[in-house]
Amino acid sequence: MENKKDIMWRVYLIYFGMCLFGVAIVFQIFRVQVIQGSEWREKAEALTTKYINIEAVRGNIFAADGSLLATSYPKYEVRMDMVVAKDDSFYKHIDSLSYCLSNLFRDKSWHSYKSELVEARKDGERYHLIRRNVDYLQLKEMKKFPIFRDGRYRGGIVYTQQNKRARPFKGLAARTIGYKREQVSVGLEGAYDEYLAGVGGKRLMQKISGGVWKPLNDENEIEPQDGSDLITTIDINIQDVAESALRRQLEKHAADHGCAILMEVATGEIKAIVNLTRGDDDNYYENFNYAIGELTEPGSTFKLASVIALLEEGLVDIGDSVDIENGITYFHNVPMKDSDYDKGGHGKLTLQQTFELSSNVGIAKMVTQHFSKDPQDYVDQLYKMGLNDSLGIEIAGEGKPKIMNTKNPQWSGITLPWMSIGYEVLMTPMQILAFYNAVANNGKMVKPKFVKEIRSRGKVEKVIETEVLNNSICSQSTIDKVKVLLEGVVQRGTATNVKHANYQIAGKTGTAQINYSDRSQRMKYQASFAGYFPADNPKYSGIVVINAPSGWVYYASYIAAPVFKEIADKVYSTHIDIHKELTTDTGMVAEVDTKMPWTKEGHQKDLVTALGKLDLMAHSANPSSRWVKTNAMQDTVGLKEKNINERLIPKVVGMGAADAVYILENLGLKVKLQGSGVITQQSILPGTRVTKNREIVLKLS
């Protein structure tokens, strides 16, 4: 009995303990579910759901004419919740869905799609990947597919949008357009990111097995606000010409890299900017913005600043002479040579001739003669012109110009003469261009401008005004004198190969030694040309810089100047507003006293008929000619054959609109007329090669 009682006591004790443990469990469940329920539920949701940022659609970047330079387009990632569709619907339509997917993407057979989807359903996948980088039209089509057309909650289709950035013109102005990636800001994309980026939205996502996040709802909880658009100053046609011209020259001379910029004089608007560097495959790419970021010794283009300093101090005039000896001189036993010193030099030259021929010896001797006692006066003149200041361009990466002060420990006895010809100073191509543009703009230096407007949903949000950096880099009298010098460089000096019959270019060549090649020990050079046009009424300024041409030809007149001329010719031929009124030889004003009326050029048969109706005599040199020129003589109208070459733009000045339009449209051109009467100007110069669908503007009296 005692053993039995002892056993029962132990049983009761165990039973009581188990009951007590059960009560504790029940109490804990009650506490977790009821008392602490809300707290734990919040923690659970925090671990399985979260809000993620939804990137706004980035704003577009447009050229000045509205062409798209950069735009965003949507791409979608499409997935499928494999457990929401009912068995009868899934297995009834899986063949059709697989066939549709295979037919749309053409990446694998419908059997493969079916096998993949059936396997995913067996595994109970809640977020099975169907395809990435689906475009909008493909997504729209997918929503019509069997099973998917039942929607997310019955068909299981789940998709998320991702915005991709594209440049429709590919590499054109690529470095200036730039990009924005995490902490890296390049070009306009980086400079104006606060406007382009917009305001992001929010979307609730749930974490499922495998650490994958999927959206809980089809719609965003907070919709993103799209970014604003940039209207740039870039002229896409000029940009294309500038890039093609620079690329050809770089390839021709196997140069390392180069840049070209065209700027509007009065506003500072950048119409074209090209930066090309040679890759490992010997092709050229836009990988670095040399125009803005590369600091180099400019060489002879800097001589303009030295001449301005001399003239501003009243120390010389452009007619004053300097003896350049035999093309070589010495400063503290260090030789300085002219490029043609081996030909014996030129003896005494005026400052104008010295500048036009780009004599290192002449410029250096003049600067040294007048500033050697107090070289800081020379430096102060350069500072007054603003040459030691950055331009403050919005695009990141502008190099800080370096013009040594006499207090600098590196200043030596040869610094002044070498600085005067563009050595021992560092400037970017854009900074040199801004300086030349100031001369063209009668002394007013303006900040280069890349963006004209910022627009939001088509409405102007902000207008970017022209910013003046220096109201007057020097006196007007000095400006007038150096303009004569710059025109002389093209007319008689080192850049005669850029002369044009119908308009005048003003500018300066620059050829600078830069470094030695590790392999050949040959000197490397930088060739540049900076200037503006038309010289008598400047509208555009520009600079071309080409670094390290590989051949023995390296002078700027042969390397850089032709690129400038090609760009200028394109601008002149397509911008009729910068043309002068042409003086024609059409006989509009008779040279002799005659009773015969002036007659337009045109179709010979029509002209003969019209003159006959007026009882006027016509004399034709070739009666079979279709098109003729006219010449009013004493008692007759002379008709001379007018040749039309189908490959070249004809001269239509002096013709009537009907005949000119007929000829030009038959050549494949698009004709735009301004005014009425006889044609007095044409936007494309005669002799230019015909390009189909190109627009030509005809101005009539």
Residue 24's pLDDT is 80
Residues facing residue 516 across a β-bridge? 523
At residue 93, does pLDDT exceed 90? yes
Q: Could you give the C-alpha distances from 216 to 78, 95, 152, 268, in angstroms and in order?
A: 15, 28, 10, 52
Q: Give CATH superfamily name and number for 52-232.
A: Penicillin-binding protein 2a (Domain 2) (3.90.1310.10)
| CA torsion, ordered 267, 268, 271, 276, to nearest 10 deg | 180
- pLDDT for position 202: 67
User: pLDDT tens digits for 136-159?
Assistant: 899 999 999 999 999 888 898 988
Instruction: Note the pLDDT of residue 204.
Output: 67
Q: Angle 476-491/303-312 helices, nearest 10 degrees?
A: 140
The pTM of the whole model exceeds 0.75 = no
Lowest mean pLDDT among 265-279, 329-343, 585-599: 585-599
What average pLDDT does the chain have? 86
HEC secondary structure over 102-155? HHHHCCCCHHHHHHHHHHHHHCCCCCEEEEEEECHHHHHHHCCCCCHHHCHHHH
Can you name the CATH fold of 602-700? Trypsin Inhibitor V; Chain A (3.30.10)
Give the mean pLDDT of 523-532.
93
Q: What are 251's two structure tokens?
A: 């390839």
Asked whether residue 389 carries a pLDDT value surpassing 90, the answer given is yes
Distances (CA, A) of 87 to 82, 90, 157: 10, 5, 16
Question: Is residue 91 within a helix (H) or strand (E), and if so which, with residue range?
Answer: helix 87-105
pLDDT at 591: 41
Helix H or strand E segment including 513: strand 506-516
pLDDT cut 70: percent of the chain above it: 89
Tell me the average pLDDT across 450-474: 94
Report the distance separating Cα 234 and Cα 175, nearest Å: 13
Distance from the Cα of residue 444 to its chain's centroid: 25
- pLDDT at residue 207, rounded to an integer: 64
Per-residue pLDDT, averaged over 315-323, amounts to: 92
> CB of 231 within 8 A of CB of 62?
yes
Q: Give me the mean pLDDT over the 650-672 stretch.
A: 85
Cα-based distances in Å from 620 to 4, 397, 599, 631: 149, 67, 14, 10
Whole-number pLDDT of residue 61: 94
Mean pLDDT for the stretch of residues 175-187: 86
Q: Which two tokens stand for residue 592?
A: 């002799």
Residue 592, pLDDT score = 41
Please determine, looking at this structure, whether the domain spanning 241-578 carries the CATH number 3.40.710.10: yes
Q: What is the largest CA-CA distance in the chain?
A: 162
Q: How far apart are CA 314 and CA 327, in angstroms?
A: 26
Domain ranges for the chain, please list them.
52-232, 241-578, 602-700
Q: 48 pLDDT exceeds 70?
A: no
- Give residue 203's pLDDT: 64
Is the pLDDT higher at 149 or at 584?
Answer: 149
State mean pLDDT over 90-113.
93
Q: Would you say residue 42 has pLDDT above 70? A: no
Q: Which residue has the higher pLDDT, 500 or 354?
A: 354
How many Å separate Cα 672 from the centre of its chain?
28
Q: What is the predicted pLDDT for the residue at 523? A: 75
Question: What pLDDT sits at residue 585?
Answer: 45
Query: Mean of the pLDDT values across residues 164-181?
Result: 88
Q: Is the pLDDT of residue 483 over 70?
A: yes
